[in-house]
Structure 1
Amino acid sequence: MDILVTGVAGFIGNAVALELLKRGDRVIGLDNLNDYYDVNLKKARLERLNSFTASDQFVFRKIDLVNRAGVNQLFTDFPPQRVIHLAAQAGVRYSIENPLAYIDSNIVGFIHILEACRHHQIEHLVYASTSSVYGANKKLPFSVHDNVDHPLSLYAATKKANELMAHTYSYLYDLPTTGLRFFTVYGPWGRPDMALFKFTKAILNNEPLPVFNYGKHRRDFTYIDDIVEGVLRVLDRPATPNPSWNGESPDPATSLAPWRVYNIGAHRPVELLRYIELLETYLGKKAQLNLLPLQPGDVPDTYADVVALKEETGYEPTTPVEVGVQRFVEWYCDFYRICL
């Protein structure tokens, strides 16, 4: 198939695109290569895909999602059959500092993608949501069948808005859409603004680690390979209407429209201090901990109920955090040429 992947220079988008290319799909990649974090890392990720350019299997265009004409032209020049929309302004804490960046990318950019999908008869739109939509919810594990109307950050609010916007297009235009609520994705080629990157750098530089909530956070850390498997399984199964959906007791995860949302996580929450212990083991150095209170916008625990995704696609995460963290450390030391 011809598949458009937005955010193709990003952590998840790049890994998904690589797997699509390996299985023989043609990938049209979009990214604006912004400087939210190290652009050189984004360019290095793109280099992983360039070995496929000889056969024109991979096409890349530098376009910002807010550029409606540019997005439309891409759909015209390289018509995709399906779209994996992973481009977004990420980060809970940064959304407090720079809220307008999230409106531009996550709201305006998303409507441009929806409109392009509508007018180009896209077979299936798969897009990134986030575990942050669960916000103030306390019941664990987080279930897609629970209400998520109390986000604690603008980032989470924009992703909840994406789910609602997608539902409208599924209902009005019969566009199959599936939202994936990612749970703390980590692994090689990851994002420098995430905890694993920051902690590794701090430990190697003998700097104190800022550990929020006094290290008592529990996160459903999900290894990148498990995420990619889930994304592709969902892509290959376009959303369909739920014939048993009832408006008197509406299920938040399904609809009479061809619309779905799924959690995609490891279903194995790990305390942050355990995560740090693993880094200490694989780096061979002790961490200096600076224990701090819970930050605004953060939630104490995340824990994914992935029953729906397993039942409907066969998704089964297999990578324990002990293996995933070790693979990350090996990649980090190789990529940055740091000798342990």
Structure 2
Amino acid sequence: MSNQISLTNYSPDVGFNSELDEKFLYRVILNLLLIPKIIGKLWSKDAVITDKFGPVLWISTIVGRVLHVPIYVRLRGNPVYEETEHIKYAKQKNKYIMWLLHGVNYYLLTITLPLTEAYILPSEWTKEQLPENNYYIVPTPIRQTTSVSYSRKSSMNEKNIVCVTNFDFKKKVEPLLYFLEENIDFIEKQNLNVQILGDGYLLEETKSKFADNDNIEFLGFRNDVVDYYKTAGIFLHLSKLDAYPTVVLEAFFHQVPVITNAQCGMKEQVEHRKSGLLVNLNNPEIKAAITEIQTNGALREQIIENAFYQVTTENTIRNVCDEFNTVLSDI
């Protein structure tokens, strides 16, 4: 090999967004216009790594096959499942053009993903959700430029429980919704302030269920998430979908003790009672974990210290680049 490896950046983000009907068609057309550029990129390369989906991935894979150029795709989750959710939403809202295009994308993804040379994944759990293929594990980095010099003890409010989720996916919303519905009395009795950040088409429906409860706030999309980490006593992340959630790493970095379920990629991020508390969904132990973090100061400080050390050693951009270099050497 002549070591001609391309890390693709064919265009700005031209992925699919189920909310943008007009822009959606524009994005599809723009992707198709990229065909000559993609062929040019692949023509002189020995391998290509891409994190693009949709038409870019289909075209890259097909052209790569014709030119005998292996395609490695960096996946942060399961795009096939995500397309099924977009299809359901489009059908529910009678957006038939969207439904058709996402349907086409779904079938092309199921065909092209196994044709790539290998996946580059953030966690072992992700591999289990995808069509069988070769794979490498490279964890997700986070930017660690924000100052954490503020005093956690002076800014932290142990009654504040912060959650950050994506309301476009039921598997991310349902576990949190179930916890809130089943534990309203506990939340009110303990005078907890549950602050939920994030946006998506399920937000308003979920929000309406708690319209009369002052202890639960749905704050939508926020640019000032760091301010909520600063005052959080606990970061609660309940999900049946996340491959390797960045929000958990952010909580580690901002020194907020994490409680999360022992499923998905979180079980590869959190070591129980060392860097966080792992719980089972739909179980009273979630309440017990919240109480323990609030009352066991030694455990709380131990978790904060261990999690901060973990994220500042394993998830730095430098460390992840070193792991990516190992993948490149193998390619």
State the TM bucket, normalised to the shorter chain.
0.3 to 0.5
Larger RCO (CA under 8 A, 6+ residues apart): 1
Higher helix share: 2
The TM-score normalised by the length of structure 1 is 0.33
Q: Kindly name which structure, 1 or 2, has the bigger radius of gyration based on alpha carbons.
A: 2
The TM-score normalised by the length of structure 2 is 0.33
